[in-house]
């Protein structure tokens, strides 16, 4: 069917919610991933739905004609997960941003998928509640995107990732069926299959998340943020293990290398005229967050600092360093051109790989990160190891570089680095991705991590999306390339058969 035909059907069904002008479509052709201006792929048409029925009707038309459907939120992804590389219909979920219910007695919130995490936080605050699963991009990251990508959280060491808060999710499948998966307001269930969990990290390849019910928590009386210098990352890990063994509840922990600290402290440099001074012996900077009743909080901090001293750690006493990191990481109190975004991005931009490795191999992996970046002649920004498993040691590693988005050769070298470091993590007993997802970048080597399980992944996708139209080219190669006016794949992508392009 001609492109114009299905678009006219969309317009007839959804009216002014359908947008086709070039300037309207162009904004959806890229996210924050390294790509040249030639690698921007706008969809053929954009839909701004108001409710689940709007999404269902759009997907129904797409299903009938075999048209690709890509859903997205704030487009702050760093690996092209929501970029419509095959054109078709783009569903902008941000137009569905209604808080449906706040149940104070049962400590739950239900919201449309397009609500940003910050909008949910703001709605909960008057009730003395919050959702601890917060990425740095909370002002633009929607709850549907949080679920689709399985994002990291600043407070992951105590509260985990979004799955730990997700109770129920409403999905429009690739067959245009609306299905609710989960256990509503109960915190757990052994009834049925845990299909809800399957939606987390699925990158929109199974359907469009239109609403979710989340478990929320009481806001703590106080919160403290401190930084401790350690001679190695291994020492920082040993320290956290000792605190956990002692019974301390740690809200958040982030192990930064020296290089990475500079990325977070632009405001400090502007204020003092120089980078923060870090002793030569210090190779790791642990940011640690506690919260709770003041007496409990003070005890936790006193005990934690005592143990740090015993283990060769040194508390960062210059609060400007800590505050600069915290503002950049969490509060985002904005002074134009004084934060890491956008001041650090004026010449080259942020590019990262996001593997996860076992706790005992962090130091080894960090060295592999540096060696791999240098091998591909890339400018190193640094590594941050986020701790994202509740009350235990579980790493999500942001291995970041500065990349010139206008230089195709440099972007190609970045993609080679991305693949090589992903494979190194798997070889160490880890995983290729912890918060970006597979996107189309890892399609060519997904079996390197998952082996013959990939065949079962494909069968699961067929149950939800028999025509393969949902976010095609991500996780799997799309077999429908070139049909019904769908956009061409990115250069070097080959519909997912080779690397690059996203």
Q: Can you give the three-state secondary structure of 396-465, one letter per residue?
A: EEEEEEEECCCCHHHHHHHHHHHHHHHHHHHHCCCECCCCCCCCCCCHHHHHHHHCCHHHHHHHHHHHHC
Average pLDDT, the chain: 91
In this structure, the answer to whether residues 415 and 303 fall within a common structural domain is no
Mean pLDDT, rounded, for 289-304: 96
* Averaged pLDDT for residues 237-257: 96
How many independent structural domains does the chain possess? 4
Above 90 in pLDDT, residue 62?
yes
Q: How far apart are CA 417 and CA 395, in angstroms?
A: 20
> Is residue 309 one of the residues assigned to a domain?
yes
Classify residue 445: in a domain, yes or no: no
My answer on whether 32 and 63 are in the same domain is yes
Kind of pairing between the strands at 45-47 and 89-92 = parallel
pLDDT of residue 275: 82
Phi/psi for 19 (5° steps) reads -130, 130
Are residue 234 and residue 133 in the same domain, yes or no?
no
* Residues 335 and 358 both lie in one domain: no
Which domain range does residue 38 map to?
3-94+455-496
With respect to residue 236, please indicate whether it lies within any of the assigned structural domains. Answer: yes
Return d(Cα 104, Cα 127) in angstroms, integer: 7
Please report whether residue 200 resides in a domain. yes
Distance CA 81, CA 502 (A): 8
Contact by Cβ (8 Å): 33, 79: yes
pLDDT interval class at 148 (50, 70, 90): very high
What is the pLDDT at residue 81? 94
Confidence check: pLDDT of 489 > 50: no
| Higher pLDDT among residues 343 and 43, named by residue | 43
pLDDT of residue 480 exceeding 90, the answer is: no
Query: Residue 135 pLDDT > 90, yes or no?
Result: no
Three-state SS annotation for 104-135 = CCCCEEEEECCCEHHHHHHHHHHHCEECCCCC
Q: State the average pLDDT over residues 482-500.
A: 36
Q: Is the pLDDT of residue 369 over 80?
A: yes
Please state, in angstroms and rounded to a whole number, the distance separating the CA atoms of residues 92 and 77: 14
Q: 162: which residues sit within 8 A by CB, 6+ positions away? A: 133, 146, 147, 150, 151, 153, 200
Radius of gyration, alpha carbons of the chain: 22
CATH number at residue 408: 3.30.300.330
Q: Are 180 and 152 in contact (CB under 8 A)?
A: no
Last residue of a domain, one of 218, 243, 267: 218
Give the span between the Cα atoms of 234 and 240, in whole angstroms: 10
What is the mean pLDDT of the segment spanning 248-262? Answer: 92
pLDDT of residue 501: 28
308 with 255, same domain?
yes
Q: Is residue 441 part of a domain?
A: no
197 and 259 together in one domain: no
Instruction: Clarify whether residues 106 and 212 are in a common domain.
Output: yes
Are 419 and 377 in a shared domain?
yes
Domain boundary, last residue among 183, 218, 253: 218
pLDDT-wise least confident of 99-103, 184-188, 218-222: 184-188
**pTM recorded for the entire structure:** 0.91
**Do 428 and 479 belong together in one domain?**
no
Query: Does a structural domain hold residue 444?
Result: no
Which candidate, 476, 472, 480, places its Cα nearest to that of 41? 472
Structure confidence at residue 398 as a pLDDT band (50, 70, 90): very high
pLDDT value at position 292? 94
**CATH number of the domain where residue 232 is located:** 3.30.70.3450
Other C-beta atoms closer than 10 Å to the C-beta of 16 total 7
Q: Are residues 124 and 201 in the same domain?
A: yes
Q: What angle do CA 38, 207, 488 make, to 5 degrees?
A: 25
For residue 136, give the CATH number of its domain. 3.30.465.10
Q: Would you say residue 207 has pLDDT above 70?
A: yes
Confidence tier at 341 by pLDDT (50, 70, 90) = low
Question: How far from chain centre, in Å, is Cα 68?
Answer: 23
| Banded model confidence at residue 298, pLDDT cuts 50, 70, 90 | very high
| 446 in a structural domain | no
DSSP 8-state class, residue 150 = T
What does the pLDDT read at residue 500? Answer: 30
Do the domain assignments include residue 502?
no
Same domain, 53 and 164: no
* Adjacent-strand bridge partners of 91: 47, 71
H or E element at residue 305: helix 294-310
Is pLDDT at 337 greater than 80 in this prediction? no
Share of the chain above pLDDT 90, in %: 78
The mean pLDDT of 383-392, rounded to a whole number, is 96
Tokens of 408: 């195709």
- Report the pLDDT averaged over residues 399-427: 96
Of 342, 376, 405, the residue at which a domain comes to its end is 342
Statement: residue 286 has pLDDT above 50: yes
The token duo for 291 is: 């919260």
* Residue 158 per-residue DSSP state: H
- Identify the pLDDT of residue 399: 97
**Is the same domain home to 104 and 201?**
yes
Band (pLDDT 50/70/90 cuts) for residue 493 is very low
Region 1-5: mean pLDDT is 61
């Amino acid at each position: 069917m001609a492109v114009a035909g299905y678009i006219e059907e969309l317009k007839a069904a959804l009216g002014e919610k359908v947008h086709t002008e070039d300037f309207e479509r162009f904004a959806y052709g890229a996210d924050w991933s390294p790509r040249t201006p030639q690698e921007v792929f706008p969809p053929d048409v954009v839909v701004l739905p108001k409710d689940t029925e709007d999404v269902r009707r759009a997907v129904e038309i797409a299903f009938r004609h075999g048209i690709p459907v890509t859903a997205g939120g704030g487009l702050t992804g760093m690996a092209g997960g929501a970029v419509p590389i095959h054109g078709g219909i783009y569903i902008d979920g941000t137009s569905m941003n209604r808080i449906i219910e706040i149940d104070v007695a049962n400590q739950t919130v239900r919201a449309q998928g397009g609500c940003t995490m910050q909008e949910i936080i703001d709605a909960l605050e008057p009730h003395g509640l919050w959702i601890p699963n917060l990425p740095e991009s909370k002002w633009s990251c929607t709850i549907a995107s949080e679920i689709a990508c399985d994002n990291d959280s600043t407070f992951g060491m105590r509260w985990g990732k979004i799955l730990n808060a997700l109770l129920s999710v409403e999905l429009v499948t690739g067959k245009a069926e609306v299905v609710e998966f989960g256990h509503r307001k109960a915190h757990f269930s052994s009834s049925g299959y845990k299909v809800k969990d399957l939606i987390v990290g699925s990158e929109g390849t199974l359907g469009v998340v239109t609403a979710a019910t989340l478990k929320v928590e009481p806001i703590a009386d106080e919160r403290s943020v401190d930084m401790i210098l350690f001679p190695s990352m291994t020492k920082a890990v040993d320290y956290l293990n000792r605190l956990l063994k002692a019974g301390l509840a740690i809200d958040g922990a982030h192990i930064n290398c020296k290089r990475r600290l500079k990325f977070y402290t632009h405001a400090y440099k502007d204020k003092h005229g120089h980078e923060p001074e870090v002793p030569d012996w210090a190779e790791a900077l642990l940011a640690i967050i506690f919260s709770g009743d003041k007496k409990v909080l003070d005890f936790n901090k006193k005990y934690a600092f005592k143990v740090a001293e015993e283990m060769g750690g040194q508390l960062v006493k210059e609060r400007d360093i800590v505050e600069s990191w915290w503002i950049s990481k969490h509060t985002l109190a904005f002074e134009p051109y004084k934060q890491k975004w956008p001041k650090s991005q004026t010449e080259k931009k942020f590019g990262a790989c996001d593997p996860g490795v076992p706790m005992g191999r962090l130091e080894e992996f960090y060295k592999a990160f540096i060696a791999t970046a240098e091998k591909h002649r890339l400018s190193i920004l640094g590594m941050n190891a986020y701790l994202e498993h509740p009350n235990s040691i579980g790493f999500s590693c942001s291995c970041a570089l500065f990349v010139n988005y206008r230089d195709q050769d440099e972007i190609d070298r970045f993609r080679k680095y991305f693949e090589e470091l992903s494979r190194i993590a798997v070889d160490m007993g880890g995983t290729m991705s912890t918060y970006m997802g597979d996107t189309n970048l890892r399609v060519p080597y997904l079996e390197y991590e998952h082996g013959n399980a990939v065949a079962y992944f494909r069968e699961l996708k067929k149950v939800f999306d028999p025509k393969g139209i949902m976010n095609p080219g991500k996780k799997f190669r799309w077999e429908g390339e070139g049909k019904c006016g769908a956009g061409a794949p990115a250069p070097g992508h080959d519909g997912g058969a080779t690397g690059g392009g996203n």
